[in-house]
Amino acid sequence: MPTREEVAYFGAGPAPLPTAVLEKGAGAFVNFEDTGLSLAEVSHRSQTANKILADTKSALISLLQIPDSHDILFMHGGGSGEFSAVVFNLVSVWVEKRRKEAEAELGGDEQKVIERVKKELREDLRLDYLVTGSWSLKASQEAANLLEPLGKGLINVALDSRQSNDGKFGTIPSEDTWDLTPSRANGGKGSAFVYYCDNETVDGVEFPSFPKCLGHSSQNQYDSPLVVADMSSNFLSRRVDVSKYAVIFGGAQKNIGITDVTLVIVRRVILSTQASSSFLHAIGVWSPPVVFNWPVIANNNSLYNTMPIFSIWIAGEVMRGLLATHGEKGLAGQEELAKRKAKILYDVLDNFPEVYQVVTSQLARSRMNICFRIRGGNSAQEKTFLEYAEAQLLQGLKGHRSVGGIRASNYNAVPLKNVERLATYMEEFAQKSKPA
């Protein structure tokens, strides 16, 4: 039976965790800090739970340098849950902005305000999505499904990267080709938000940096774009200017911890700019379900309902481990390591182009999920590659079921030595696969 040290795991999620965190977690699961209770048994209303929440928030603030303008929420539902939560909460923000404008112009005539906003809702509401892979596609489809009762055409797919890549994901076209909804200052309707997935786990596509065209172009708070980013699979792998985002969210099971915790970083003004449920219902819009209602979660310190305190503690341990490992460098240190590990693998792939083909264009290559095919997608060769890899305890390399191929996930907890082991195997396989 192999030991943990002998196995090199490259699964896309749930992902590896630092061994030290798991070992400490094993003790905490049985008897947390000599309390005689497991962390799975501790009340979410207890001082212990509140301290764990506070300590985890503090570590995250330190890592990402989160400004006071943003709050941190711990939620259920994973990234897929936030596909819905984003729509519910940010459409509510859009409605509240329009309600205030109508009220200022129409005075106290509530019925006229309702009728005006109801009309604007169906004519002007637009949600912009940048679709660069499977997860942003799913998010856009969920938004369309939720808003379908209000009418068609409310979802603006400002970018579908398949259109410039033979019907497949694998690239991020230049920003001047994106069809974003024009702002109201520029004579357009203005979008409620612009949504993108920073790293596409299935397709190996990653934005190299924050899109320049999404920067604030207006001094009017009602006209500036609200940028939403799903960072589930590259969270805490590089520095991020949180101030540029209205919302950042991520499921924990890639770089943060274990499943059943979702982190949401949200601009505080969004929490205080929400339409009332009665007004939303009056214009025919659903109010956010309580478990996805960001203001409710924030007002209850993420403890409106029972949160998995053990999982939040694990996330905190992972974060504190990053702080201890990289010291003053912080996430800059982790960013350097992630780039180094990814380069090792991409260099091997590029050195044997007759054997390996990276599915992603050079400028959109993910540091976290290295996706490639063998001999143009030769199923027999790919099966052999995976079988030989498993025999060497190189595990979790099979591509997503929807696309096939090979995928090596290079998350934070994947040690450099494991990446080097994989690179050596890839070189040996390529050498053996060369024609005689």
Per-residue model confidence as pLDDT tens digits over 154-173: 999 999 999 999 999 999 99
| Residue 362: per-residue pLDDT | 95
In this structure, are residues 326 and 334 in contact, taking their beta carbons and an 8 Å threshold?
A: yes
| Residue 64: per-residue pLDDT | 98
| Residue 279: per-residue pLDDT | 98
Host H or E run for residue 421? helix 416-433
Mean pLDDT, the chain, integer: 95
Which among 365, 344, 350, 316 has a CA at the least distance from the CA of 419? Answer: 344
In this structure, are residues 315 and 250 in contact, taking their beta carbons and an 8 Å threshold?
A: no
Position 216 pLDDT exceeds 80:
no
Residues 124, 79, 41: CA angle, nearest 5 degrees? 135
> Tokens 């985890």 identify what position?
56
The distance from CA 126 to its chain's CA centroid, rounded to whole angstroms, is 22
Position 47 pLDDT exceeds 90:
yes
From first CA to last CA, the distance across the chain in angstroms is 37
Position 61 pLDDT exceeds 70:
yes
Give the pLDDT mean for 148-153. 93
Position 204 pLDDT exceeds 60:
yes
Q: What are 169's two structure tokens? A: 């994901």
pLDDT cut 70: percent of the chain above it: 97
| Residue 218: per-residue pLDDT | 47
| 3 state SS of 81 | helix
pTM: predicted TM-score of the whole model, two decimal places: 0.96
Q: How far apart are CA 364 and CA 132, in angstroms?
A: 10
Per-residue model confidence as pLDDT tens digits over 16-27: 999 999 999 999
Residues 256, 192, 190: CA angle, nearest 5 degrees? 140
Which among 193, 239, 232, 230 has a CA at the least distance from the CA of 92? Answer: 193
Task: Label each residue of 280-327 as H, E or C.
Answer: HHHCCCCCCCHHHCHHHHHHCCCCCCCCCHHHHHHHHHHHHHHHHHHH
Per-residue model confidence as pLDDT tens digits over 303-337: 999 999 999 999 999 999 999 999 999 999 999 99
Q: What are 133's two structure tokens? A: 């892979």
Query: Residue 220: pLDDT band by 50, 70, 90 thresholds?
Result: low
Position 124 pLDDT exceeds 50:
yes
Query: Residue 241: pLDDT band by 50, 70, 90 thresholds?
Result: very high
Per-residue model confidence as pLDDT tens digits over 325-371: 999 999 999 999 999 999 999 999 999 999 999 999 999 999 999 99
| Residue 185: per-residue pLDDT | 87
Position 223 pLDDT exceeds 70:
no
The one-letter amino acid at 94 = W
Q: What are 414's two structure tokens? A: 């994947």
The distance from CA 117 to its chain's CA centroid, rounded to whole angstroms, is 32
Give the pLDDT mean for 262-281. 98
| 3 state SS of 268 | helix
The one-letter amino acid at 198 = D
Give the pLDDT mean for 56-64. 98
| Residue 219: per-residue pLDDT | 46
Query: Residue 433: pLDDT band by 50, 70, 90 thresholds?
Result: confident
